[in-house]
Amino acid sequence: MGQDVEAREFTGEDRARYRAKVRRNLDVLAAMLGQQDFSVPDPHVGVEIEFNLIDEAGDPALRNLETLDAIATEDFQTELGRFNVEINVPPSPVAGRGLADMAERMRDDLNAAQSKAQSVDTGLLMIGILPTLDARHLTRETISENPRYHLLSDQILTARGEDIHIVINGVERLRTTIDTIIAEAACTSTQLHLQVEPDDFAPTWNAAQAIAGVQTAVGANSPFLLGKRLWHETRIALFEQATDTRTDELKAQGVRPRVWFGDRWITSVFDLFEENSRYFPALLPIVEDEDPVAEIEAGRIPMLPELRLHNGTIWRWNRPIYDVVDGKPHLRVENRLLPAGPTVPDTVANAALFYGLVTALTEQERPVWSQLPFKAAEEGFHAAAKAGIEAEVFWPGVGTGPVRELVLQHLLPLAHVGLERRGVDSAVIDQYLQIIERRCATGRNGATWLISQFDRTHEKGRDVLDTMRAVTRRYAEHMHEGEPVHTWSVG
């Protein structure tokens, strides 16, 4: 949700001025891509992780402000729900022992934050959807106090003109109606950032889209919502519906959703920003004083605030990011489709798979996306969200088959090559890619562990919520012990 905004109402004039300013930003960005230095001499990667807050019983703890006061570090921030916080792991080089150093930093930060959170009777949990959430936690009162969240919620509901309907058909069926976007707070994720140069952006984004189904299947960690077993990565369906500004009639007309996989391979990062401007009306039409043309003429790099704010209200699963750091412009691919957790090693293993694969795939003589229909990539993504690690997906040269075999036989060797190309130490490559290998060999990821643990714990006649509490507490124990999920016992 990005930058802070204040509570306010918007007029038609606000929207017209904002649209014109976004287009002005877009023109300036187009010129900058050909004229400014976006080079990446020392590639950095970054990670954001959203946490749930739980109490001693395993229920959501609606105390994010008290928890953040106790943690007292700028690395942790609020998120949409009062039962959420987020950590921004500072960007670091990927070469050498960069991934291992990132893991150590994440582990230290999590331990310190957990210790301080306990002083206000909360605990941190890395999981895609908290199993103990129920309807009481998805109300306007559980939205965080920051005005930007309430403003965004109001704007999405105003754009829809009706309440948000959540319908997910999985092992069980969920159907509910919510009058805010608070259901989005149930979708806690890991977001991976990779800085790239303009010429490398399109192939990197295309590669990220091509592997979205594989990532989702291997990393699935969200099988339960509101007491029902749905998809292995229910977050995908929930997030797509929780912020949908379209009525049924607009869907039938083919209007694009704001949580979007996309509809084509791209040739430039400009394609994505231009599509955002062309297809999506503003949700937060806030115009800043910056004149981007004057900034360029003065020899300064413009922040392009309207373009960035608009981009932040379109939730592509692989999102383009424009930013300015130390007076220099840069571009990032933000990979948004993974759930949080289950552990720090699992998170870094997911990151290693992503960074390795996109690097290797962008260097192939015949790109995979030239052989893969875009629709097949999107269908594979949703099939993986439903079936998780047991999903089947299509891959060029291989055909349609189990994700586990595809990863073990074809993609892990590619990821290894990609990480080598980025200068990652061989021991670090082996350490984290072996976690992915063992997940695929055993069929055990977060989602399958949660399902197995629920089945083992749920006794005939026992309340489902009590079972979810027991599963959540056991998950929290494993998470804080820090061993990868494929090693977790059930019982």
φ and ψ at residue 399, rounded to 5 degrees: 95, -165
Q: Crossing angle, helix 198-210 and helix 344-362, to 10 degrees? A: 120
Tell me whether strands 189-196 and 44-54 are parallel, antiparallel or unpaired.
antiparallel
The answer to whether the beta carbons of residues 416 and 356 sit under 8 Å apart is yes
In the chain, what is the greatest distance between 2 CA atoms, to the nearest angstrom? 72
The answer to whether the beta carbons of residues 42 and 184 sit under 8 Å apart is no
The answer to whether the beta carbons of residues 292 and 24 sit under 8 Å apart is yes
CA atoms lying within 13 Å on the CB side of residue 12: 0
Residue 460, pLDDT score: 74
DSSP label at 188? -
Taking alpha carbons only, the member of 220, 237, 230 closest to residue 382 is 237
Taking alpha carbons only, the member of 99, 222, 148 closest to residue 89 is 99
CA atoms lying within 13 Å on the CB side of residue 197: 14
Spell 61-81 as b/e; 16+ CB within 10 A means b: bbbbebbbebbeeeebbbbbb
Residue 4, pLDDT score: 55
Q: Give kind and range of the element (H or E) at residue 315.
A: strand 315-316
Given a cut of 70, the residues of the chain with pLDDT beneath it are 1-7
Taking alpha carbons only, the member of 237, 230, 128, 223 closest to residue 185 is 128
How many whole angstroms separate alpha carbon 190 and alpha carbon 235? Answer: 12
Query: Cα Rg for the chain, rounded, in angstroms?
Result: 22
Residue 461, pLDDT score: 78
Residue 318, pLDDT score: 98
| Whether the predicted model's global pTM rises above the 0.85 cut | yes
Taking alpha carbons only, the member of 471, 488, 480, 483 closest to residue 59 is 471
The answer to whether the beta carbons of residues 234 and 224 sit under 8 Å apart is yes
Residue 1, pLDDT score: 40
How many whole angstroms separate alpha carbon 133 and alpha carbon 431? Answer: 34
Q: Give kind and range of the element (H or E) at residue 24.
A: helix 12-35
Helix then strand then coil, in percent of the chain rounded to 5, is 50, 20, 30
Tokens of 433: 């890619």
Tokens of 22: 């976004």
Taking alpha carbons only, the member of 160, 156, 210, 219 closest to residue 191 is 219
Task: Give every CB contact of residue 236 below 8 A, 6+ residues apart in sequence.
Answer: 216, 337, 381, 382, 385
How many whole angstroms separate alpha carbon 190 and alpha carbon 341? Answer: 8
How many whole angstroms separate alpha carbon 53 and alpha carbon 118? Answer: 10
Task: Give every CB contact of residue 183 below 8 A, 6+ residues apart in sequence.
Answer: 138, 164, 166, 238, 241, 242
